[in-house]
Each structure stands twice: as C-alpha cells, then as structure tokens.
Amino acid sequence: MRDIRRALLEADVSLPVVRRFIKRVEAAAVGKLVTQGVRPDQQLVKVVADELVELMGGARGGDEPLQLVSAPGPVGEAPPPPVILMAGLQGVGKTTACGKLALYLRGKGRSPLLVACDVYRPAAIEQLIKLGEQTGVPVFSLPTSSSPAEIAAAGIREASDRGCDVVIVDTAGRTQIDAAMMAELQAVKAATRATETLLVVDAMTGQEAAALSAAFNEAVGITGAVLTKMDGDARGGAALSVREVSGAPIKFCGTGEKMAALEPFYPERMTSRILGMGDVVTLVEKAQRAVADKDAEEMQSRLLAAQFDFNDFLKQAEMVTNMGSMTQLMRMMPGMGGVTDRQLEEAEKSFKVSKSLILSMTPTERTKPELVASSPSRRRRIAQGAGRSDEAVVTLVELFAGMRVRMQDMSRLMKIAGGNVGQMTQEEMTSIVGAKKRVKKGLARRYKKPELRKCVDADESQRLAAEDQARRLFAVASLAAAV
C-alpha cells in the first residue's frame, strides 16, 4: 500500500484523494478470498484495478459520453438544440477542445454549431473560426462589444435557424479563478440552459486539479470534464482528482494536436493502461479509423497470398503514423508496461530511418527484397541515396525479415495463408547480409576495454529491444487491419 500511495503522489494525485483511495483499497482487500491459482499480490492488483475504475467514473461500456437532451422550450414552439458549455482556465486548450468536440459530433452524424463567447483573449474568435473551417463546422460570433450571455443566446437562435442540432459554446477563461469569471459563466449558463457543462482541464495541472474542479463545480455545477494534453509526459493524476472531488465523470481526453485526437474517456481502459495491461479495444478502434476498407481488403489479400514486400512495409509505417504516436500505441499493447522511453525513442527513430531507406530503393527493389539482401552494391547505393550508413540497410533487411516471419506465423494461426510462397526465409536473408556486416570505426578498440564493453552491450541490447518492439507494433497493426 505504501508503494501504491507513493506512485499516486508521484502522478500528482491530490493528497486527500490518495488517502481516501488507499482506505477504500484496504477495506476491499482485507479478508478477501484469494482465487485458486492466483497469488495474493495478483489478487491485490485486481482490487486496485476495480477501485481505480470506480474512482474514475465506473465502467461505462459502450455508452455515449454526452447526454444531449434539449431543454424544454416555450409552449407551442420547438425546443432549442441542446447546448454544451465549455469552461476552464486560460491556456488549457479550451478553444481547441471545442473544435475537436465539434469534429467528434460530426462523425456521429450530428450537425453542430460553434459559438464564440471569448471576447477577451486576443484572436480567440479568429482561432475558433479557423478551427471551424478545418472541421467543416459553422461558427457564430458577434462584435466583442457584446456580452458573452448575449452572444450565447443569439447563437442558439442562429442554430435553430440553420437547423443545427447541437451548440458548443466556447467561453472565456482567466489565468486564475476569480469572481468575475464565475459570474459570467453563471450568466451564460442561465442564458443557454446548457445540457452539458464540461470543465476543460490540462492533464499537467496535477494536484491543482482538485481545487479547480471544486471551484467550478460549486459555481456552475459541471456535468463532466475534458482532459487535454494526455499525450504529454504527465501521468494523468488530474484524471483521478477531478472525478473524486467534483463527482462529475471525465467524458473525453485529448491525445494529440490533430483535430481528430479526441477520445471518449473509458475508466476501465485507462486503468488497464495505468497497470500496464494494454488497451487492445482502443488500439483496434484506432486501426478501424486509420485504415480505409479498400486498404484493409488489399492487405488481407496479400496476407492470404503470404506476400509481403517493402511497399507493404512502407504502407504499414504510414498506417501506424495515422493511428497516433508510437508511445500511445505501444502503451496500448499488453505487456508493454516495462518498455522504457528510450526504447520507444529508438523504435521511433528506426521507423524514420526505415522509411528513408525504402524511398531510396527502385520499384523493383521494393517488390523484391531478396535483391537488396543479396547485393552489397545495391545496399551501398540505397544507403548513399538516403544519407545513411551501409549498416542501416543491413538492419532494415534483418528487421524486415523478422517482421515477415511474424506476419506468416500470424496468418497461419488465423488459418488464412499456407506458406511463404517461395520467399526467402529469415535465416537466408540474415545470413547473406550478416556476412557483410562491418564493425564501426573505433568500435573494435572500445570492445577491448572491459569498462566500455558493458556500455556497448547495453546500447546493443537497447537497439535490439527497440527493433523487436517495432516488429511487434507493425505486426499488430497489420493484424488489426486484416481483421
């Protein structure tokens, strides 16, 4: 329990929240029967996981995070469209979150309207208009001399006239909580009769998220939260604090700079990631969004024929890039909790090097990897064209050979392919290029020094681990697309 307490505090969870969480875990764990075949420490992990899910809002399953029900209108008139009020401090990414949410709702078949009520921050209205152009969502605004409540009320009338079925109101923020901001939010909420009041919180806020949530909830009564910048190096302690203090669930989290980088927040999935168990469901959902049906069918046909060349390798790299950052995808894979940041950096670097080398090949070389494996002159030309070393081409061939074997193994497990159809085996490709490997200049001298040998071995193990992670990630992406 001491280790758990320390881990939560290091993740910037508020101290009172940590204490209450620890008490609940102790109460749930003491006296609990250990399932046969499971160790007590494994049983404790299950208890911690259940309590984490409960702390972050409980298992939601496939429920839609937003409850978009219109408030009743005047007698004899059609009800106005439901309103989502976005609140938060300045600099947390509130305006960008409005654009992302609008794009998310468009993908769900809704017709949103963005309303610009931030009349204080310079260029805030222009920013929202620009985001509306990017997402194809109309934006309503009035001169900055108008009050935010007037703009919001006029925006709802505009939405009814346009036939929009949901309104997203971007409110003004401050660098810190003050009475004027809260009074203004209350006026806007009264004018719009908002269905959802979402507090936008920076994931790097840390322990301050608790006080922030309490203040906004007391003033305007938030119905949920949106966590931004979840792709940063913050460990998400704000996620635990917001729910525990306000009682409102976290509904969305921003996972990148792209407008499509907004995901519904599922407590059970986030708990699985926190405990290093992966998140295969979200990984497959990302693959479904990133891979077109035509590309998936083409990839499946190549799997059926047990064919895989450098062109497919390049397509896989682009597909993985479209699915998100390397770090995010690796954390979603089961068993990847122990992967270090350095290994992820090396794998990311390996992707970029591999892409540059493949682009330096001729069309024939891309379709026949064996030509590259068996020809030192081709490898030298490819390396020079990409501005890389000969060893980088050797590494690419070995990486490709290992990955193709994994693809064939998976296809056999899925019973969708029946052999390698005359392709060169991994051992053959590796033996050909391995015989041509050269020791880097100065490396032989370093090997002779015992104190430096450990450093070289450590670097080599990091490189090999990174290459293995790259192969695994490519293989998972291919399998998701094929399925």
Residue type, 462: Q
CATH topology of domain 83-283: Rossmann fold (3.40.50)
What end-to-end distance do the CA atoms of the chain give, in Å?
A: 41
Residues of the chain with CATH 1.10.260.30: 292-482
Residue 11 to residue 300: CA distance in whole angstroms: 42
pLDDT in tens, 311-337: 877 777 777 767 666 666 766 666 555
**Per-residue pLDDT at 422:** 47
Mean pLDDT of the chain: 76
Residue 155 to residue 80: CA distance in whole angstroms: 11
Residues of the chain with CATH 3.40.50.300: 83-283
Do 21 and 55 contact (CB within 8 A), yes or no?
Answer: yes
Q: Which residue shows structure tokens 């927040």?
A: 265
Instruction: Using 70 as the pLDDT threshold, list the residues of the chain that sit under it.
Output: 59-63, 70-78, 206-207, 231-237, 273-307, 321, 323-328, 330-341, 344, 406-483
**Per-residue pLDDT at 286:** 67
Whole-Å CA distances, 189 to 24, 48, 117, 220, 394: 36, 38, 12, 8, 63
**Per-residue pLDDT at 34:** 78
Per DSSP, the three-state class of 84 is strand
pLDDT in tens, 259-281: 888 888 888 777 776 666 655 66
pLDDT in tens, 356-410: 889 999 999 888 888 888 888 999 999 999 898 888 888 888 877 777 776 666 6
DSSP letter assigned to residue 205: G
**Whether this model's pTM surpasses 0.85:** no
**Per-residue pLDDT at 417:** 43
**Per-residue pLDDT at 70:** 65
Residue 65 to residue 60: CA distance in whole angstroms: 8
Pick the CATH number of 292-482 from 1.10.260.30, 3.90.400.10, 3.40.50.11540, 1.10.3720.10: 1.10.260.30
